[in-house]
Amino acid sequence: MLRNNTVQTYTLDSEQISLQLFYKMCSSKNMIPSRVVLKDGIDGYFRLLETRGIENLEQLNTALGNKEKIRYFAAESGIPESYLTLLKRESGSYLARPFPLSEFPGIPLEYTEVLKSKGIRNTRTFFEAAQSAEQRLEMAKLTGIPLSRLTEIFTLCDLSRITGVGGIYARIIYHAGIRSVMQFAATDTATHNELYFKSLEKLGYPLKAPGEEDLQYCISYASLIAELNSNSDLP
């Protein structure tokens, strides 16, 4: 595998996401139908979490690590087991999940295959192996992939760190001129939608625009990444 001198991680450190911040994000997020019930009694349940010593997402995930732990925590805290099960699933969605580089439209198959041969199989491994311009230059020499295309892939991987941004979405906003998590965070919803629709019209991908609440959540999450775990070596 390529030499790795990373300075940032693909996924946020869950210890850096406080319980209070998780509460605010859950309260404002447009939940999928199966998790809408998490908003019922959310204030009281999160207060109970605090009384059990839960201060951040890492501690919450540890406390709810498996069915047995959830059952024990429910009995100790008074929070329904069904609520804790859904809360565990929701907490997991706040950490970006890597996906194959082939899910980015416009990346030649031969590029993803040669990267696989070097141990780079998904967005996380690429992002963490190509942190700096020097690392990307080394990667270009080892793989034969043009530096400009590696920089493009790195930018797409950076955008994919925002939960809710998949391969097609990342390509659309990249085409629109949003080239980093920091730029995404600095773009208001109205400007984002304008850029999104102009880009989508040109690219023609079968992807609906995110709803207002979903987009605001993505912007808030991007702001969190920019604050806690941004990369200053982006083009």
- Residue by residue, DSSP assigns 57-119 as HHHHHHHTSSHHHHHHHHHHH---HHHHHHHHHHHHTTS----BGGGSTT--HHHHHHHHHTT
- Same domain (yes/no): 22, 135: no
User: Which residue has 């998904």 as its token pair?
Assistant: 122
Question: What is the distance between the alpha carbons of residues 25 and 20, in angstroms, rounded to a whole number?
Answer: 9
Higher-pLDDT residue of 107, 213: 107
Q: Which amino acid is at 92?
A: G
- Same domain (yes/no): 66, 115: no
- 3 in a domain, yes or no? no
- Same domain (yes/no): 201, 167: yes
Which burial class, exposed, middle or buried, applies to 234 when counting CB atoms under 10 A from its CB (0-12, 13-18, 19+)?
A: middle
Of the residues 92, 124, 156, the one at which a domain ends: 92
Of the residues 92, 124, 148, the one at which a domain ends: 92
Question: What is the distance between the alpha carbons of residues 79 and 56, in angstroms, rounded to a whole number?
Answer: 17
- Same domain (yes/no): 32, 145: no
- 88 in a domain, yes or no? yes
> What is the rounded average pLDDT for all residues in the chain?
90
Question: How many structural domains is the chain composed of?
Answer: 2
Two structure tokens written together for 177 = 């001129």
- 32 in a domain, yes or no? yes
- Same domain (yes/no): 223, 160: yes
Of the residues 42, 74, 92, the one at which a domain ends: 92
| Domain extent at residue 194 | 101-228
Rounded to two decimals, what is the model's pTM? 0.83
**Average pLDDT of the residues in 204-230:** 82
- Same domain (yes/no): 155, 211: yes
Question: What is the distance between the alpha carbons of residues 200 and 207, in angstroms, rounded to a whole number?
Answer: 8
List Cβ<8 Å contacts ≥24 apart for 104-107. 104/153, 104/156, 104/167, 104/170, 104/171, 105/167, 105/168, 105/171, 105/203, 105/205, 106/171, 107/149, 107/153, 107/156
- 205 in a domain, yes or no? yes
pLDDT tens digits, 52-97: 999 999 999 999 999 999 999 999 999 999 999 999 999 988 888 9
pLDDT tens digits, 143-181: 999 999 999 999 999 999 998 899 999 999 999 999 999
- Same domain (yes/no): 68, 41: yes
Q: What is the pLDDT of residue 7?
A: 52
CA-closest candidate to residue 104, choices 28, 42, 173: 173
- Same domain (yes/no): 159, 213: yes
- 233 in a domain, yes or no? no
- Same domain (yes/no): 107, 87: no
- Same domain (yes/no): 171, 78: no
Two structure tokens written together for 84 = 């804790």
